[in-house]
Structure 1
């Protein structure tokens, strides 16, 4: 029997999950919690195998609750439950030790199957979430690959575009004339296949550029 703890600040969501999970003969709901602090206490007291953890809760949110649960001697598998896919909350939950995440729109059959997969020790992503994650990873890799065609100075200019700086601000930062910066920006747009500064800025952020980073080497 797989023991499941349901955590959500909306009691109607908990009731919905209880109905779905209660329909399976191999799953049992050992408890509910309505905020992150209660979730940690319940995980200690009830010793579930799987925790379905809402991320956006008042007080102690799902990320901090997951972090605390992961410090237990034999922590359960935590699955983040979210209405949003691949936002900062989801990323934070995965970094905190969550075994995966599910959209609240996941179908009942998929939910039951993925809880079982998580209990068996595997990483879990709902079908929609998996597609999004693959797309995001591919996009990020493409952005990083494009940086290989740039000089170190071009990467510095691109980083500044990603930070939202104007040509004048970039010129001051890199000790260049505005005309020189304008030339760099024009060449960057051509090299990167971007139609405008906004697209270049988004690509810089997608590639994970940060201040002071030099051009990647092939």
Structure 2
């Protein structure tokens, strides 16, 4: 004779597990909006939210999808955040007002599955989260525009050392200060800068000035987008 408890356990085991969702946004109102949308969904479970990726991961890394705001006050870049989550097997959905295409391109380079606008309908938001939970790319007009608007999306590949040189120098460093930071001679830093400039020139994105280097570093997600007061 079949035990009713065993039957119930078999039914529960056969049911798909709810997608575990986290959210990173340093403004509370978008979080409240997502909480309200997801609380009625049996297949989506909002596990936690925080103002930074680090704070969210301190709460839990048992997540399938993270809804990520592009501009965070901790100064992290979309590339950093998407990569950090990807290392833990967590996929990212960008949640944004859509005002910063450079940041969208940076998230795309890092492997975010797509973007959903904060002005999107509940159905669009739910569809995006469910698609990401299944590992599917989220095809929206905004995502396509961000990618299509960058013909050199994967054209510039910098080693970790060249990335560090670029970020330190473009942030205001000199050949001497960058060399001191990395433990190399200033002449070596200048050689690294020549390689960086050549790579961007080959990609059709010249860097004739230090400001150009700064712009490329922001475009490619090595440096965060400056706040308006800093531009």
* TM-score bracket, shorter-length normalisation: 0.5 to 0.7
CA distance in 1, matches of 2:109, 2:84: 12
Runs (5+) with no aligned partner, structure 2: 1-17, 153-202, 208-231
Deviation at 1:77, TM superposition (A): 1.3
Does the C-alpha gap of structure 1 residues 62 and 211 become closer, same or farther in structure 2, counting only changes over 3 Å? closer
Partner SS state of residue 124, structure 1: coil
1:1-80 equivalent positions in 2, closer than 5 A: 1-42=18-59, 45-61=60-76, 63=78, 64-72=80-88, 75-80=89-94
Deviation at 1:84, TM superposition (A): 1.5
Deviation at 1:39, TM superposition (A): 3.1
User: 2:82, 2:110 within 8 Å by CA — same for their partners in 1?
Assistant: yes
User: 2:108, 2:147 within 8 Å by CA — same for their partners in 1?
Assistant: no
Q: Which residue of 2 aligns with 1:111?
A: 125
Runs (5+) with no aligned partner, structure 1: 142-207, 213-218
RMSD of aligned Cα (Å): 2.8
Aligned residue pairs, count: 141
Deviation at 1:24, TM superposition (A): 1.5
CA distance in 1, matches of 2:65, 2:45: 10
Partner SS state of residue 116, structure 2: strand
User: 1:78, 1:100 within 8 Å by CA — same for their partners in 2?
Assistant: yes
1:136-175 equivalent positions in 2, closer than 5 A: 136=149
Q: Which residue of 1 aligns with 2:105?
A: 91
Q: Higher relative contact order by CA 8 Å / sep ≥ 6: 1 or 2?
A: 2
